[in-house]
Each structure stands twice: as C-alpha cells, then as structure tokens.
Chain A
Amino acid sequence: MKKTLASLIGASVMAMAMVPAVQAQEPKQGGTLTMAIQQTPRHLNPAVQSGTATGAPGAQLFAAPLRYDENWDPQPYLAESWELSEDSLSMTLNLVKTATFHDGAPITSEDVKFSVETIKANHPFKTMFAPVESVETPDAHTAILKLSQPHPALMLAMSSQLMPIIPKHVYGDGQDPKAHPQNSENVVGSGPFKLVEFVRDQHIILERNEDFFMDGRPYLDKIVMRIIKDASARTIGLENGEIELVAFENNVRNINRLKKVDSLDVSSDGYAAIGPIDWLAFNTKKGKTADKAVRQAIAYAVDKNFILKAIMLGAAEQANAPIHPGSPLSDNAVNAYDLDLDKANKLLDDAGYAKDGDGTRFELTIDYGWPALKPQAEYLKAALKKIGIAVSVRASADFPTWAKRISTYDFDMTWDTVFNWGDPVIGVHRTYQSTNIKEGVIWSNTQQYENARVDELLEMAGKENDPAKRKELYAEFQAIVAEELPVYWTNTLPYHTISNTSVGNPPRGIWATSSPLDRVYLK
C-alpha cells in the first residue's frame, strides 16, 4: 500500500511540476472575480449541509485534508502528508503546522476530530464516514482516523465538498450545528477566502485570507458570487462581461450559444466526481416493469442518440453504466442497448405480451421530477408507442410531489438525475443495494432492486483498497445491473463551466467549483 501511495504522490508532484510548462502566463496577484451562482444556499457550512449550492462557497471558506486534480490524484492540502496503515484500518493525517482559522486560532487535530464527528452525525451521506470509529489525536498536528473496516471511499470523502475542517471552538459551543448562527454570518473558516457578506438571493462576497497556509495563495483579492436564478440573465451577463465565471450551467441552448462567443471559454471538464447521470428508473417490484424482458425491450426502443442529439443538442456525454463515465471505476463498455426495435418487439412477444387490435400491448406511466426532464418523458411516450407500449406522462406540481410518488413506489417508470458524489460508496451503492430499500426516502433504492450478488460485490468493493481489484469488482457489478436494468442510464447531465478568457486557471479539477479557487487568477 505504501508503494502505491508513494507512486501516487510522485505522480501528483510530477503533474504539479508540469503545470507551469503548459501555462503561457504566470499567475497574477489581485483583482475581483465576479461569478454567478444559480441558487441561494441554505447556509455556508458544508459540514452539515450537502449539495453544491453550499459546496461552492463552502470550499472557499473551509479547507479540507486533501484536494484533487483533474486526474483523480489526491494532493496535499491541509494534510501535508497522509498514510494508510498496513492493515488499512488507520489513516494518519499530518496537518500543515502553520495553518490557522480565520480568527487566528491554529488548526489542530482536535478540530479534525470535531469536524469528522460533526459530519458523521449531521451529514446525509452516512456511508462516507460510517466505518470511522474514532479519531485519535496523539499531538496537535497528527490526526488518526480509526476504521472498523478498510474504507477506500475515505480518500475522496476528504475533499472540500465533503469534509470541511471547521473550528471546534466556534461550532462546538453546544448549539445544534445544523442551526448554528455562524453558518450564515461571521463564518470562521480555514480556507483561502474569508466571508465578507452573505445576502440571501443577492450575493456572497469573499475576500482573500491573508494568512492562508499556502504561500502566495490565493491569487484573487475578492470573489463576488452573484445569485442569479434566471438562465437568460446569466447568459447575457457572461456575454457582456458583467459575469466572468459560471459553473454547473446545464441549459444546453445557452451553452451552445455561449460556445460561439469569442470572449468565453466553455468546458464540460470538472464534473467527474460530482458525476451526474440522467436515467430512466423502473419499478422492479410492481406491474409490467417487474419483468426484466420488459425493461430490456424498453431500453432497446429508446434511442440514446436521439436524446444526445435532439434533447441535449450534443452537449452531454453518453452513459451506459451506473458509474459516471469520467470516473476511473466506470465500465462504459457494458451493453449500451443501441436502438433495435426488432429485438425489443421480439423480447415482448417472447415474454407473452401480445398486441391487441390497436397494436397496443399494455400501458405504463412515466414520471419526471422537474421540468428539465419533461422532453425525455415526452420522447419516451413516442418511442415506446413503436413497440406497442402506451405511455402516459405524469407531471408533478413540484419536487416533493414527485419525491413522494417515487419513494412510496407509486410509479412504473421515472426519469431522474442522480449524482455519484465522488466515490461509488457514497453515491452509487445507494441505488442498487437491497439494504437501502427505504420507503419515503428519495434517491434510496426506490427501484426496490434486489440481487444478492450485487449486494455482495458492492460490499466487497466498498472494502477493497487495491485499485485494480476494486475496478474488477465494480466491473462485474456494472455488467450485472446493465443486464438486469433496474435503471437504464442514458447520458451525463450537461454541466459546463463557462469562463471569460480573462480568467486564468478556471476550475477544471474533478470537483468543479466545489473545490478551492485559490489558483484562479485574472490575466
């Protein structure tokens, strides 16, 4: 294990050494970056609030033990080095000794311990730190995470989006951390930027942390995050230069329009860890979709190319498997179910679903959670008519209405977008493990899919520290679910980062803007 780690560090050092050679320009100090963000976060403390709305400002305010480059390689951040023991049951973090919080107090192993405990108790992603039994603090700058079982997901969980280091002397004062007043104002962070002002529905203003532990960073003096919910206004702002950076843009028409603007860089890099996938989910316990042949026939009748070209306008990538194609663990080479109406019809004929006088075999419903997925639902109706399935599209008034239907299993099929959140243990297992069939909880295993081998494979992969073996386990898992199709994956969500050409080092790492923007500068 030590060897793999050393080679990993070696690789990242090399990668870092190569960066200046590639860049034509030296980063410049100073300036204000104006960004637009789509939503008002509930508050700014990612330890007790998941999601990218809090993650983007949160990653600037709080540092994490590790950070990641675009090749999924971990790099030292608040932990200058880290080491996994031989038995894979304890992870030692050696903290940067000069690091301080925004109020001047030193960042110690006690704060790491407190952060892990707070996240473990309050964060919705329970699998992230579930195997962490305790955190030992032999000295002020060494924290040892004791694990009940090997837990490779820990590496990605130590990123800014998921493991912000928060000060114990502020957030450990006995108040409920979820409702702590300093989650929204007077935030005391550990990251490259300090909070100046957070005005709901207007803006978040951040300024350079002069005492940041990485020398010379951050390059920017100030970041202004303007909250602009309307996609047209964001697009116009980018075009006229009022806004210099927007991440998580997924309106394909606007993206394609902005690609033609000379003063802008448009890129889909940076979303592999967040890993959003659009898919068609089936109720595998009730009605016709409980039959595997029906699910496969539907998959053959849906033309992914149509979705990619006509609905996504070429801005999204094809997805064939449960793990995002940008992840090294993905196996996008499984059966893709390319359009084949004969095969689809034959599957249904063989399964005994004969056509009646009108050419209809049976009826199904399709739900969708939010308006952006409506075109896919409408398309499904047309596509399945060709194989004799009459589909009725069911709209939902809003997200809770849809969530209630799906999580109480009142559906045949639903179109959905689900995120990987870094390691498969965090965002992928939940959809397929039979232990996660939890009524009333959206984005659990609402398909009610049960397969003992899948359960076993996920259990093993969750504990396997050897990357090659782990990939094999996930490959077998992906082959099984691609055959049984509790979910039919179609494409990645077309997230794009759009930046003005005056912005140097726009965020392209695997966590997009949910990572520290300390390397971003203005030319």
Chain B
Amino acid sequence: MNLLLPLLQRVFYAAMLLVAVLILNFSMLHLAPGDIADTIAQASGGADAEMMAQIRKDYGLDQPFLVQLGQYIGKVLTLDLGYSFFYNQPVTTLIFEKLPATLLLVITAQVLALVVGVFLGVFSARNPRGIVSYLVTFIALFGYAAPVFWTGILLLIAFSLKIQLFPVAGMVDVAIEGGWFVKALDVARHMVLPVLTLSSIFLALYSRLCRASMMEVLGSDYIRTAKAKGLSERQITYKHALKNSLSPVVTLAGLQFSAVVSGAVLVETVFSWPGLGTLALQSIIARDTPTILGILFFSALVVIVGNLITDFVLRLIDPRVGKSS
C-alpha cells in the first residue's frame, strides 16, 4: 500500500508528461520553417514543384496545424506512432530496431560509471591526501570537462589507430562467423570505446560526489562509535559508511539518466553505434517529424522509467525516503 499509491501517482504524472512532450514537440517542429519535402529534395539533388506538392499531400502536411495535431495524438493513443517520412517504415519498427543497441550502451556505461565511480570515491575518501586521491580528482575533472565527442576521437586515435586494439565504428563485424559466443564477444569488442567514452563524464560526477559524501559520513558520530567498538576499517567503510553515503550518488545517477541518454546521441554519432542516437540525428536533419516524435516519446519513457527505478532503489537503501511525505 505504501508503495502502490505513489506508484500510481507517478504513472499518472508520467502519462501527462508524455502527452505534454508530444504536443510541445509537435508544435515546435511545426513552427520550424521547411519540411520533409525539402529534405527529400536535398537527398535527391533537386526536385520539381508537383513532386513536392505530392509529398506534402501524401504525408498530410497540406492540412491545417490543428487537424494534423489531432490526427497525430489520436493515432498515438491507439499506440500507432505513424510512418517515417524518410524511410517509409513504421516508426515503431525503426525504434525497436535501434532501442536495444542504445539500451545496451547506456545501461553498461551507467553501471560501469557507478561501480567504478563509487569504488574510486570510497578509495580516495579513505586517504584524502594520498596520491590516488589527487589522481582521481584530476581524472574526474578532466573527464567531466572534456566534450564527449573529443574524448571519443582521442580514444579512437589511441586504440584504433596507434594501438590497433578496437574497431573504429559500428556494433558488429559483418565478416565474423560463428556461434552466439563469438558474436557476443565481437559486440563486446565494439562496445569498449563507446562505453568508456560515455561513462567518462558520469564516472567523474559519481566519484567526486561519492568522495565528498563518504568523507562527510566518515566524520560523523556513529562512525566514531563503530571505531570505538573496535570494528575493522573495512567493516566500517563498507558496512556502515558506504550505505549512508550512497543515497546522494543514487539520486544523482537517476537525475543523470536523461543526460546519459542525450550523451548517447553524441557517442553513437562518433562511433557509428546503430542506436536511437544516430536515428534521432538523422531524423532531425531530415525533418522526419513522426520519427523525431517517436524517439522523443521513447526517450521520455526511458527517462521516466529510469527515475522510477531510482526512486525505489532509494527507498530500499534508505527507509526514511518517502516516509515524511
């Protein structure tokens, strides 16, 4: 009961948010000058007037704005995201083709950033004046300050060109033949650089935050009590201190989930990772309205689900969360 009501409330807000996302995006896209007929003309190297009129008619772009909006919302309510103007494919097909690749990238990067970030944070909090601590601070600041695409290209130059360890682009090597294990290994090899790039920023954030909150917790009274009880340093750090210092990190991780998704757009472009990011970029450039709206819809969904999960993880870590409200 305690969990169900806030959940329902959340789901209701989420649904409202999704509708708002749709209406807002649809209106903004409609305000922008030009449309898909122009980009098809661009892809074709030219066009003629009848053809452009035909394209607009085929895609209903000659209708008044409110009619178009009404039709679109009506379709979405029946779970139909429409047809991509550019690829002539159902938008849901396009998105489900790409979603797994993006989820794989985003989740792996997020988990890596969290695990390594927390570990580094704890480590440097225990020896705040040590060389490792300074090193962590330096790497953290560097990773946070450097633009993602730049980090990506540097990693490419280092590990694809100078030391030819990882492939430059894509998700699979089409020449590889073998069982699922060989193929999974191949995907893993392609994933290393994009995941490192994407996690670099968040690794910085999490390690800094974890370090700060760990140091704060380590100075509190109950830790002194634990020390006085004669518990080992290890037990104090991991059993008592870490649990309490984690909640700001988890909160931030949840908030950052949307940033990870948008960071994925850049990383996917640099590494030609065939996910939602490349599709998003392509459809924005092509002014492929149904696809853009579909992607934004799904991104909003992913972020909302991510935040819901964060919320419940927080409740698990810290029972006080949710009690006061």
Contact = CB atoms under 8 A, between A and B. Distances in A.
A405 B46 contact: no
B48 A124 contact: yes
Interface string B164-178: 100111111011000
B285 interface: yes
B264 to A, nearest CB: 14
A230 B268 CA distance: 10
Contact of B272 (A230, A397, A427): A230
Contacts of B35: 400
A504 interface: no
Contact of A441 (B41, B86, B174, B272): B41
A430 interface: yes
B279 A49 contact: no
Contacts of B39: 399-400
A227 interface: yes
Interface string B22-34: 0000000000111
B88 interface: yes
B189 to A, nearest CB: 13
Contacts of A19: none
A201 B156 contact: no
Interface string B87-108: 1110000100110000000000
B157 interface: yes
A202 interface: yes
Given A203-B174, A240-B168, A124 B51 contact: yes
Given A400-B33, A405-B33, A441-B47, A239 B272 contact: no
A94 to B, nearest CB: 31
Nearest to A204: B174
B88 A43 contact: yes
A233 B156 contact: yes
Given A124-B51, A200-B94, A441-B49, A236 B272 contact: no
Contacts of B285: 398-399
B43 A51 contact: yes
B87 A200 contact: yes
A443 B47 contact: yes
A239 B278 CA distance: 24
B244 interface: no
A228 B169 contact: yes
Given A199-B274, A399-B285, A237 B168 contact: yes
Nearest to A199: B274
Nearest to A161: B45
A403 interface: yes
A405 B33 CA distance: 8
B168 A233 contact: yes
Interface string B243-277: 00000000000000000000000000111101000
B38 A442 contact: yes
Contacts of B167: 242
Name the residue in B38, B87, B164, B271 with the highest tally of chain A Cβ atoms < 10 Å from its Cβ: B38
B282 interface: yes
Contact of A236 (B34, B41, B156, B172): B156
Nearest to B284: A398
A457 interface: no
B46 A124 contact: yes
A28 interface: no
B270 A233 contact: yes
Contacts of B49: 438, 440-441, 444
A42 B88 contact: yes
Contacts of B52: 440-441
A424 to B, nearest CB: 13
Contacts of B282: 40, 201
A421 interface: yes
Interface string A40-66: 101100000111110000000000000
A113 interface: no
Contacts of B300: none
A243 B170 CA distance: 12
A228 B272 CA distance: 6
Nearest to A48: B44
A57 B49 CA distance: 27
Nearest to A410: B33
B46 A430 contact: yes
Contacts of B63: none
A230 B194 CA distance: 14
Name the residue in A178, A236, A401, A404 with the highest tally of chain B Cβ atoms < 10 Å from its Cβ: A236
Given A201-B282, A240-B164, A232 B156 contact: yes
B272 to A, nearest CB: 5
B153 interface: yes
9 closest pairs, A vs B, by CB?
A: A400-B34, A50-B44, A404-B34, A404-B33, A403-B38, A400-B38, A237-B168, A201-B274, A124-B47
20 contacts: A42-B40, A42-B87, A49-B44, A50-B43, A178-B88, A184-B87, A197-B174, A200-B97, A201-B278, A203-B174, A224-B175, A226-B170, A229-B281, A236-B157, A240-B160, A240-B161, A398-B34, A401-B32, A404-B38, A443-B41
Given A224-B174, A398-B34, A442-B47, 12 more contacts: A50-B43, A124-B51, A179-B88, A203-B170, A229-B272, A230-B272, A232-B153, A397-B32, A399-B285, A400-B287, A441-B49, A444-B49
